[in-house]
Structure 1
Amino acid sequence: MPPFLPPLCLTGAEVLTGDTLVPRPVGIAAGQIVAAQGAQGQGLPAVDLSGFLLLPGIIDLHGDGFERQLFPRPGAAFPLTAALDAVDREAAAHGITTAYLAQGWSWEGGLRGPDQAETLMQAVLDHRARALTDLRVQLRAETHLVAEAPRLIAAVERFRVDYVIFNDHLEEGFRMRRDNPDAFAHWARKAGLDTAALTARMEAARLAARQVPRALCLMADAFDRLGVTYGSHDDPDAETREVYRMIGARVAEFPTTRRAAAAARAAGDPVLLGAPNVVRGGSQAGNVAAAELIRAGACDGLLSDYHMPALPLAPWRLADDGILPFARAWALVSSGPTRVLRMVDRGTIAEGLRADLAIVDPARREVVATIAGGRLSHLAGRVAERFLRLPDLARLAAE
C-alpha cells in the first residue's frame, strides 16, 4: 500500500466546517486528521493552500462506470488488475476517496452475472495492497434470480460486502425488446448473448416470480445478521418502496418518481440520487429530476451512477441554480453518504477521522489534489508545486 504522507499542516485554505467554509489550518499525521495547533507546535512542515478549498473526500456509494474499464467494448474484456488500477486513478482524480463499484448479480449473466461478481469481489480484495482509493463492491441483486440467493448470501459473507441493493429490471427488459430492438440487441451483446438467448433468460426469470418474496426475505434475514445495509433501486412508486421497506431494505436508491421519493422520506428512509441527473439538469431516462427532489429536501446523498466526474461538479450546479449553498451541496457527496452506511470514520474534516480530503481550485472548479486515508492519491495543476516544495514529498513523488 502507498505510504502515508509525512505529518503536515495544511494552511490558508477555506475549509468545509459544518455548513460553512472557514479559513483554518488542518493537520494530518499517520493517516488521520490531527489538531493543527499541535502540529504547528511540533514544527511540522506546512503546505500553503491559499486560494483553494479544502473539502471532505467524496464518498461514492454507487458507480457502474467502472464497467467501461473492464469491458470497453462488448466482448472485449481487459485484465481486472489493469482495469481496477484505472478505476482507482479515475476516482482519485475526481476527489473520490471511497468508491463502491456497483456490480450486478443478475440473470442476464456476462459482466453482470454471479461468476463475474465473485471474480470482481476477489480482485477488489487483492487490489487493496496497492490501492489509492478505498474501493469496495456494492452488489446489485436482481430479484428474480432466486436460485442464486444462497450463493449471494455466502458471497456477501466471504467477501465482506456491506451494501446490497435489490433491482427488478425484468419487465423493463421486456419493454425494451418490444419498443427498442436496437437497444435490446446492444444489451444482449454486453451480456455475451444474442437476443434469443437473452429473451430465454428473461422468460426463465419471469417463471420464478412466485418465489421472489421468499428469496427476498431469506436475503434480508441474512443481511440483518451480517450487519449489511440494503435497499432498493429505481423504485417506480410508493407501493414498491413500502414493500421493500417492510422487509428492511430501507435505502431508496434512484427513485424514479416524486411519489416513490416522498414515500421514502415520510418513512425516514435514506434517498440517494444521481449526480449526472443534477449536472445535466434532468434524468437521461425521463425520470424525476434530482434537483426537484433536492429542492424539496428529499435527498440524503448523490452517487456517480454512470459518470464519476459528475460527483464534484454536482454541488457547483446546485449552488449556481440557487437550490443549496455550496457547503451544504458538498455534504451530499461527503457526510450525507457516510450517514447512510453508518461510516463513522470519514465524511467530515474533524480530528481523529480518516484524512480523506479533496483540494479544489474554485476558479476552475476542479479537483487538483486528493488525499485518501492520509495518502496522496492525486496531485495536479497549480497546487502540485506547493506540495513538491517539501523534501519528503518530492522524494515520495520520485519513488
Structure 2
Amino acid sequence: KCLREIETEIGAQTTALLPSILSHPVRMLKAVQDLLNETTKYHADYNSLHNSVALYRALCNNTNQYGFSSENISKLQELQNKIHGIEDVLTIAEPHRTFLKEGFVSVDFDHSKSRRSKRDEYYTFLLSDLIIFTKRQAPNSILKKRGVSHSYQYVEHGFLYRAGFEFDDVRRSIRLICPPNVFCMYWDKPDYQDSWRSILSSVISDLQRPKLFGVSFRELMLSCENQKTIVPNIVVDCVQFILSKGLYTRGVFRELPFEEEAEALREALDHEEAVSFEESSPLTVSWLLLRWLRELPEPLIPSSFYNEVIATTSPEEAQKVVEKLPVFNRFTLEYIMGCCECVVSHKKSTDMDAIQLAVLFTPCLIRRAATGFGVDNLPSCIQFVIYLIAEFNTTFQNVTTDRIATETDDKRKTELFK
C-alpha cells in the first residue's frame, strides 16, 4: 500500500520497489522483457518470451485498475515458472535494481524546541541501489522546514535515498533520487547529519556482507569468497559433522535441539563469524541444515520441476528429473541425499529410516510456487524424496558425468564426501 501511494505521489514505477514477496518474479519477467530486445525472432524461445511479456503487461494493467490481490500474485508466480527454464535470462539481462532486504532501522531525533530526544523506527526496504523508509508524518518533526518557498516535506508514507556502492564514501552516497521538495530528510546541525551517515553506513555494510540464510542459491555461490567447491560450504560443514558425529545419535534430523543453542549458531553463521561445530550437538547441526534448506527463496529442487516431481513413479524417473536440475543444485542435492542414505544405513543407532527422513526433507526441498503444497500431492513429493534416499545409487548413478564410469558406488560416495 505504501509503495502504491508513492507511485501516486511521484509517478514512480512500483515494480522497481517491490518487497520480497513479489520482487523475484518481477525481476525475472523484466529480464525477459529486456532480453526480447536483444533476441532475434528466429530464436527458439522468442515466441514463449513474447507471450510471457504480453501476459505480464495484461496483469499489470489489471493490477493498476483493480489493485493487487492474491489471485494476481498467483498469476505472477505462474508467469515466473513459465520462464524459469529459459537459459541465460538472468545472465544476459540482469536487472540493475534488485531487492535485498527489509526490516527496521532506528533513528534518534532531537526536537530542538522541546529539548527532548525521541527514537523513531522506520520500516525499511533495502534494494541494490536504493533505501526506502516508511513512516507516517510526525506533526512536529524536524524533517519539516517551514518558511521556505519550496519547503522540505516528510511525505506521509515514505521517503527514498540512494544507497552507496561498495567503495563509495558514505557522505557522498546520500543522494536523493527525487526532487528535494518531494523526498528529503533535513537536518540543520552537523551532528544530526553525522548520526544519519553513521546509521546509513552500518546498513550498507550489513547489506554488503554475504549471508548464508534466506539468500538465493545463486547469490550464495557467487558472494562467498571462501567457496572452493560446487557445494556450499555450509552444506559441506554440516554434512561432514553429521557423518563424523551424528551417525550414532538417536533421532538425528528428527529431534529438536536446544532452541537457544541452535539460534545462536545460526546467528553466528549468518554474521560470518568463525564458527566451529565441535562444541555443538549433531541434533543442532542437522536442524541447521534443514533450516538453511527451508529458508532458500527458491527450493533446491526449483518450483518449475514440481509437476515432474509429483508425476514420478520410479527411481529411474526420479533420476531423469535430477539430471535436469541446474548443476549446483544437482551436486548439492546429491551431497545431502548421500548423507541421508548414510544415516539410514546406521538405522540401529539413529532410529531413522528413508520414510522418516523424506517426511522431514520434503517441505525443505520441494515447494509449489506461491501456494505451497497441495494436500493431494504431498504423498507424491514424499515418495520422490524416498526414491532419492532409499535408491541413492540408482537415482544418482549417472548424474555426475565427470566421474569415472567404472568407479564402484562405495568409491564414488567416498569421493563425493571428500
Class of the TM-score when normalised by the shorter of the 2 chains: under 0.3
The structure that is helix-richer by fraction is: 2
- Identify which of structures 1 and 2 has the higher relative contact order when contacts are C-alpha pairs closer than 8 Å and 6+ apart: 1
- The alignment's TM-score, normalised by the length of structure 1, stands at 0.24
Mark the structure with the bigger radius of gyration: 2
